[in-house]
Amino acid sequence: MGVQDYSFLRDLQVEFKDYEVTNKFSLCFWLYLNEPSTLPSTILYQEHPDVTSHAPFLLLDERKKILLFPSLISSHSNITSWREVAHAISECEFPTKKWVHVGCEVTQDLLHLYFDGKIVGEKCLTSSLSNDMGSDNSRISLTCISGKDSQLDGYVHSSELFPILSTIENHYVKDPPVQLSIDSSSAYEIEEDSDGVWSIVGGKASCRRNFDIDVTLMDNFSLPMTEEAEVVASLVYSDDNTPVEKPVDADAALLTSYDGIEYASSDRPSKVISGRASFKLKISQLSSKCDNRLFRIRFDIPKLGKYPFLEVFSRPIRCISRNRSTRATSLMLRKSSLGIHLLNGSQSPVLDDGSSDRPCIVSEAKQSPSSKRVKLGQEKLCANFKDDFVLKQANGGSRSHSWTSEDNHAHQNSLVARPVSHGGEENFSSDSENSETTNSPIDDLPSNRDPISDMVVFKYCLADLNERRLLLKEMAMTAKEEELATFAERVSLFSGCSHHRHQISISKRLIEEGINCWNLISNDNHHVLWENLVSGLQEHFLKMTFGRIRSLTHQDFNLLRRVSGCQDLVSQDNFEKLWCWLYPVAFTLSQQCISSLWGSTSPMWIEGFITKEEAESSLKSLGALQEPGTYILRFPTSRSWPHPDAGNLVVTYVGSDYTIHHRLISLEFIYRIVRSQ
């Protein structure tokens, strides 16, 4: 791959050296056209030294269809319009801003026009020429086919002339061009407004937030390019693509992070590895300080040349400050499995509305639920936990719990509690932060050799959430439960964080039961009605929680619907997002110490499925906060498998400072409290 492999359309020159084949040849090339300014317009011309005016060879008409003309004829001077000459015309419009393989077969009697290896137009010439031109329809020898007089803005790749036919399909697959694209499914920590504009928190250093996005360098068959290349990200204005100026005595408008250090994005390109370049970016310039203009992020590969197919722009971006109110219609894009279904490995298309196949952070606010609130200290929250723990100790001191399906097939789940920290502190972590580290001691590695290599272990420890999800999906399809358990222990050891273990240990069951659930509900259809999903999901949820008193309510399904990002029709992408959030929650509710809380409705220990905004709203009465100590237990909507906190509880409470706080309580922490009493 290099600059020499691509040329401008106007520079294309196909010369005929053997005049005997000028009336029987095949011309193949890859064509990339920008939007034409005028139509119709000739793409390629036929040239001959004895011909004063050029005849068209390929023409783009008013409907963006391509016309293929026969080789030059001697009586062309009598033709008032080349439309009068018999020609082949494509059945479909020619797409712009996309590589298309064009094949032209020209003989004395027949014209064939190919797009991407398939015939899209043909014309028999023998009778047509006789009718159009009379008896004088003799041909003259071509000298070349050229694009130098074309008014179209286009590019050509791998053009070849063949003296024989039936070679177009071979040329199509031999040397496809590449194109830079944005992987919409990789967007992370980006809110999408109802108007399709991305909303990103930026501004001063203390407020701006990281967001992730990947670009791909693929050939026309979606195969990644293995050659080395570097992609540069820059911030431009959406209306005219001019660069956003760097503020005086301030950071660059667009920043990128490497190893925790921020650089100007132009100074640190991202390398393309296996056809993908990943970016972790921040925007320091606010739209409000630029006359409320929208931005875009431009990705390009300068070392390969300024070609439009090696340049791609993000959606329009509105950069806001952290204090700006959350839009009720926004949708948070999160990472998933690089366009692959977690549940069956099939390709996952990007939706037309721009929504991605990602677990979502739901940031909408509703009216506060009408349920009784309980103050800290008025009830003994850990009473049931302690009874359950004592019962477990009496039955053999096992810390594991059987996950039993309806056919009584049991899987063992290792929920290993973390020991008390040396300082005896409570290990609460904020709901808005990742709990990725701990000082708890880790057990030694098992003595038996594990088939999963150290490279895979380190790859998992260093990967982001999206890459971990994909890696676990691949492992869960082939590895045994014991191998995953050993892998979980090794990840805990090398990462220094023990609560990765639970998400790894449930991965095989999560995927297998997700496949079964979707197949039962969808009945081999690609989409199902939301009403049908509700009934099927309710039944499966009760099975997972062993029918513990309380089923899902209308409020719960409202949140699940927003998590999935679906409307009346539910695709497998929607179901996958929903399942990655719901399964860890259902697994938590299946535990005996938690199920008693879930089943209690008076008082309401666990509020059900609500958002952080709804929890905060319900702690306010007529605009005033409840008394200090009043709290709500909920499941965080921002934690989906395999995030280590997926399925854990969050307490939203009024502190002594009369402000609302959010603290995550992991299951391991709960068991640690019980043992210490």
Q: What is the pLDDT of residue 354?
A: 37
Top-confidence residue, 427 or 54: 54
Q: What is the pLDDT of residue 439?
A: 37
Q: What is the pLDDT of residue 418?
A: 33
Q: What is the pLDDT of residue 81?
A: 63
pLDDT above 50: residue 101: yes
User: What's the average model confidence in pLDDT over 507-532?
Assistant: 88
Between 47-51, 280-284, 296-300, the lowest mean confidence (pLDDT) is in 47-51
The confidence band for 566, taking pLDDT boundaries of 50, 70 and 90, is: confident
User: What's the average model confidence in pLDDT over 83-89?
Assistant: 83
The confidence band for 308, taking pLDDT boundaries of 50, 70 and 90, is: very high
pLDDT above 90: residue 544: no
Q: What is the pLDDT of residue 409?
A: 34
pLDDT above 70: residue 473: yes
Between 2-11, 64-73, 380-389, the lowest mean confidence (pLDDT) is in 380-389
Please spell the DSSP secondary structure of 304-336, one letter per residue. G-S-GGGEEE---EEEE-TTSPPPTT-EEE---
Q: What is the pLDDT of residue 419?
A: 34
| Rounded percentage of the chain residues whose pLDDT exceeds 70 | 71
The confidence band for 74, taking pLDDT boundaries of 50, 70 and 90, is: low
Q: What length is written for the chain? A: 677
Measured CA to CA, the distance from residue 431 to residue 102 in angstroms comes to 55
Between 23-32, 352-361, 501-510, the lowest mean confidence (pLDDT) is in 352-361
Q: Identify whether the C-beta of residue 528 lies closer than 8 Å to the C-beta of residue 521.
A: yes
User: What's the average model confidence in pLDDT over 70-92?
Assistant: 71
Top-confidence residue, 300 or 225: 300
pLDDT above 50: residue 209: yes
Measured CA to CA, the distance from residue 545 to residue 37 in angstroms comes to 62
**Greatest mean pLDDT among 10-14, 45-49, 187-191, 334-338:** 10-14
Please state whether the predicted TM-score (pTM) of the whole model is above 0.85.
no
Between 285-299, 345-359, 661-675, the lowest mean confidence (pLDDT) is in 345-359
Q: Tens of pLDDT along 575-625?
A: 998 999 999 998 888 877 787 788 777 777 887 788 888 888 888 865 677
Measured CA to CA, the distance from residue 113 to residue 121 in angstroms comes to 5
Q: What is the pLDDT of residue 96?
A: 93
Measured CA to CA, the distance from residue 430 to residue 596 in angstroms comes to 25
Measured CA to CA, the distance from residue 339 to residue 346 in angstroms comes to 9
Who contacts 605 (Cβ-Cβ below 8 Å, separation ≥6)? 374, 381, 597, 598, 633
**Greatest mean pLDDT among 186-190, 293-297, 442-446:** 293-297
Top-confidence residue, 422 or 526: 526
On the 0-12 / 13-18 / 19+ scale of CB atoms within 10 A, 164 is exposed
User: What's the average model confidence in pLDDT over 69-81?
Assistant: 62
Top-confidence residue, 294 or 3: 294
User: What's the average model confidence in pLDDT over 285-310?
Assistant: 91
The per-residue pLDDT of the chain, averaged, comes to: 75
Q: Tens of pLDDT along 387-417?
A: 443 333 334 333 233 333 333 333 333 323 3
Peptide linkage before 642 cis (omega within 30 of 0): yes
The confidence band for 42, taking pLDDT boundaries of 50, 70 and 90, is: very high
User: What's the average model confidence in pLDDT over 357-381?
Assistant: 38
The confidence band for 143, taking pLDDT boundaries of 50, 70 and 90, is: confident
Q: What is the pLDDT of residue 188?
A: 76
pLDDT above 90: residue 314: yes
Query: Bridge partners of 317?
Result: 198, 295
pLDDT above 60: residue 178: yes
The confidence band for 311, taking pLDDT boundaries of 50, 70 and 90, is: very high
pLDDT above 70: residue 471: yes
Top-confidence residue, 474 or 65: 65
List strands edge to edge, sheet with 41-47.
13-15, 144-146, 41-47, 55-60, 66-68, 88-89
Measured CA to CA, the distance from residue 179 to residue 199 in angstroms comes to 27
User: What's the average model confidence in pLDDT over 428-440?
Assistant: 37
Which candidate, 509, 501, 517, places its Cα nearest to that of 477?
509
Q: Tens of pLDDT along 120-133?
A: 999 998 765 555 55
The confidence band for 362, taking pLDDT boundaries of 50, 70 and 90, is: very low
